[in-house]
Amino acid sequence: IIMRAIAKDPAKRFQTPAEMRAALKSRTAVSGGVGAAAAAVAGPPTPPPTAPLAPATSAGRERPKGLLIGLAVAAVVVAAALVALLVFGLGGGDATPTAVVGQLPSESGTLQPTGAVTVLVVTNTPSQSARPSATRVEPTNTALPEPAATETQEPTATLPPTEEPTEEPTNTPQPTATPQPTATPEPSNTPKAAASPTTAPTRTPEPTDTPASAPAPAISGKITFSAGGLLHVVNAATGQDLFAPIPDMRQPDMRADGELIIAKGYQGARTSLWTIDARTGAFIREQSPFTNDYHPFWAPDASRYTYDSLHHNDSDVILFVAPLDNRDPEAHDYLFYGTQPILGTFPVWMHDDWIAFTGCDYWPEGTGGANCGIYRVPSWNEEKPIMVHSGGLTMRPTDNYGGDLLFMSRESGNWEVYVIPNTGGSMRNLSNSPGSQDGLATFSPDGKWVAFLSNRSGAWAVWAVKPDGTGLSKLFDLPAPPTIEWTDEQMSWGP
């Protein structure tokens, strides 16, 4: 019966527990042994834990040998029956035999509970009941999910706590950490980029500010010029005369404070340099008794002025500097280098205390007049004139503000207005009108505008442009053509 119960060939084993019990009943001679085997198959109650029994000694009572042999046979039969039940219950005919041990070695070399084996501990120690003590370990349902758990995750080494499978689903929420795709609201940052284009159109009005170069809000102060033999002082924005025009005066220059004008008289009772009240038009004083003084221009500090004259040389025009209160300039008031006076015309006293003029290098160490153009020289003499812009005598400086010098030139074929640094460098064409004549440029008191004379509209008018060449607009028409030769005139803008 035992050999059949543990046969390797499934066909030779007992097919059912009932078949095995029947074989036991028919083959067992002792009726008590059959009952004990049946009781063992039915599952004997687990006795309460007792203190370990001392091994049997020769001093113990002797038991009948037949009883001991019967008990041993019954124990073996019960063990075989349990093995058969385990085989049929867990795997049927295809199940592989498992070792009847309490623990199986794992791949890692550590012992792990199988949870599916019933272990019988048989002692041959005699007791009062003369029954072997057995400890039965029943399999738990959690032992079945073990393979699946061990396949998915190693952390489930401790199978007894059934919470670990529940923790594994809690690990699946870590995939639910895929709310990181909620970082895809960063595409919602792309609307921010959509907000930036909205700001870009708001910048487009800024270019529309350039048309806002209308003279009314930006133009102020007064402008003086000569037209039709009359000296005019007009509102810069409208061109309206501030007082009655003054006859027989030309080439005006307004002082920086807007209080005085110095001008050249060309006929009648006044043919020399005079100062005039810029608010009323009243004559203040005659600055020089000579009739051959021209193109006066104020010093930045308004205490002196410069001009060109023939009164010390009948053939060459030389440059002079005179104090405001000096009515009779002497020879030492002219500009010179070495021992020779500087020949030149159209002087402009710049803010760096140097004087720009048109001339040729006739001074010592020069080329004898071969290099002509616009030069600059210190108002205190002692230094050789320095070239600012070369190109001949068909050019002249007209005004200065800060570090910039305005000049007019015909080097392009017609008269144009240019701006250039005081010390020379690249120039910019401000009038930029090849089909017209443009010149006599002057800075506004704040240096933000440049007014100049032009006939681009078919008649002579005063136009304004910013120093960067933008915002060109017409201010007003001249009441009459310029006096005498227009390129020999002056125009000045004051507060």
Q: How far apart are CA 401 and CA 265, in angstroms?
A: 27
pLDDT computed for residue 396 by the predictor: 98
Radius of gyration, alpha carbons of the chain: 61
Interval 326-359: pLDDT, tens = 766 565 588 999 889 999 999 999 999 999 999 9
Q: How far apart are CA 471 and CA 465, in angstroms?
A: 5
Asked if the model's pLDDT at residue 386 lies above 90, the reply is yes
Interval 63-77: pLDDT, tens = 455 666 767 767 776
pLDDT computed for residue 433 by the predictor: 97
Interval 175-211: pLDDT, tens = 444 444 444 444 444 444 444 444 444 454 444 444 4
pLDDT computed for residue 107 by the predictor: 43
Q: Which residues pair with 293 in a beta bridge?
A: 309
Asked if the model's pLDDT at residue 146 lies above 80, the reply is no
Range in 81-85, 86-90, 241-245, 402-406 with the lowest mean pLDDT: 86-90
Tell me the CATH number for domain 215-494: 2.120.10.30
Asked if the model's pLDDT at residue 134 lies above 80, the reply is no
Asked if the model's pLDDT at residue 377 lies above 50, the reply is yes
pLDDT computed for residue 88 by the predictor: 53
Q: How far apart are CA 181 and CA 170, in angstroms?
A: 19
| Domain ranges across the chain | 2-46+65-160, 215-494
pLDDT computed for residue 18 by the predictor: 81
Tokens of 245: 């025009």
pLDDT computed for residue 284 by the predictor: 96
Neighbours of 231 (CB within 10 A): 23
User: What would the mean pLDDT of 157-176 be, rounded to a whole number?
Assistant: 42
pLDDT computed for residue 1 by the predictor: 78
Asked if the model's pLDDT at residue 138 lies above 90, the reply is no
pLDDT computed for residue 452 by the predictor: 99
Contacts of residue 454, defined as CB under 8 A and 6 or more positions apart, other chains included, come to 431, 433, 436, 437, 438, 460, 461, 462, 463
Range in 51-60, 381-390, 441-450 with the lowest mean pLDDT: 51-60
Residue 233 confidence class, pLDDT cut points 50, 70, 90:
very high
Neighbours of 394 (CB within 10 A): 14
pLDDT computed for residue 137 by the predictor: 39
Asked if the model's pLDDT at residue 249 lies above 90, the reply is yes
User: What would the mean pLDDT of 93-100 be, rounded to a whole number?
Assistant: 41
Q: Name the residue with tokens 């051959």.
A: 292
Contacts of residue 388, defined as CB under 8 A and 6 or more positions apart, other chains included, come to 356, 373, 374, 375, 376, 405, 420, 422, 423, 424
Angle between helices 65-90 and 17-27 (to 10 degrees): 160
pLDDT computed for residue 65 by the predictor: 59
Residue 394 confidence class, pLDDT cut points 50, 70, 90:
very high
Residue 132 confidence class, pLDDT cut points 50, 70, 90:
very low
Q: How far apart are the first and last CA of the chain?
A: 134
User: What would the mean pLDDT of 162-173 be, rounded to a whole number?
Assistant: 42
Tokens of 390: 């070369």
Asked if the model's pLDDT at residue 461 lies above 50, the reply is yes
pLDDT computed for residue 493 by the predictor: 99
pLDDT computed for residue 436 by the predictor: 97
pLDDT computed for residue 121 by the predictor: 39
262 CB-side CA count, 13 A: 25
Asked if the model's pLDDT at residue 437 lies above 90, the reply is yes
Q: How far apart are CA 476 and CA 386, in angstroms?
A: 37
Side-by-side strand order, sheet with 450-454? 438-443, 450-454, 461-465, 473-477
Q: How far apart are CA 375 and CA 393, in angstroms?
A: 11
Contacts of residue 447, defined as CB under 8 A and 6 or more positions apart, other chains included, come to 401, 402, 404, 467
Q: Do 429 and 438 meet the contact criterion of CB atoms below 8 Å apart?
A: no
Among 57-61, 213-217, 231-235, 267-271, the range of highest mean pLDDT: 231-235
Q: How far apart are CA 395 and CA 201, in angstroms?
A: 44
Secondary structure of the chain in the HEC alphabet? CHHHHCCCCHHHCCCCHHHHHHHHHHHCCCHHHHHHHHHHHHCCCCCCCCCCCCCCCCCCCCCCHHHHHHHHHHHHHHHHHHHHHHHHHHCHHHCCCCCCCCEEECCCCCEEECCCCCCCCCCCCCCCCCCCCCCCCCCCHHHCCHHHHHHHCHHHHCCCCCHHHHHHHHHCCCHHHCCHHHHCCHHHHHHHHHHHHHHHHHHCHHHHCCCCCCHHHHCCCEEEEEECCEEEEEECCCCCECCCCEECEEEEEECCCCCEEEEEECECCECCEEEEECCCCCEEEECCCCCCEEEEEECCCCCEEEEEECCCCCCCCEEEEEECCCCCCCHHHECEECCEECECEEEEECCCCEEEEEEECCCCCCCCCCCEEEEEEECCCCCCCEEEEECCCCEEEEEEECCEEEEEECCCCCCEEEEEECCCCCCEECCCCCCCCEEEEEECCCCCCEEEEECCCCCCEEEEECCCCCCCEEEEECCCCECCCHHHCCCEEEC
Q: Which of 374, 410, 400, 375 is nearest to 487 (CA)?
A: 410
Task: Residue count of the chain, please give it.
Answer: 495
pLDDT computed for residue 177 by the predictor: 44
Q: Which residues pair with 309 in a beta bridge?
A: 293, 318
pLDDT computed for residue 330 by the predictor: 61
Percentage of residues in the chain having pLDDT higher than 70: 61
Asked if the model's pLDDT at residue 131 lies above 60, the reply is no
pLDDT computed for residue 459 by the predictor: 96
Asked if the model's pLDDT at residue 490 lies above 60, the reply is yes
Q: Which residues pair with 224 in a beta bridge?
A: 233, 492
Interval 258-276: pLDDT, tens = 999 999 999 888 899 999 9
- What backbone torsions phi and psi does residue 56 show, to the nearest 5 degrees? -65, 140
pLDDT computed for residue 216 by the predictor: 43
Interval 13-34: pLDDT, tens = 778 888 888 888 877 644 444 4
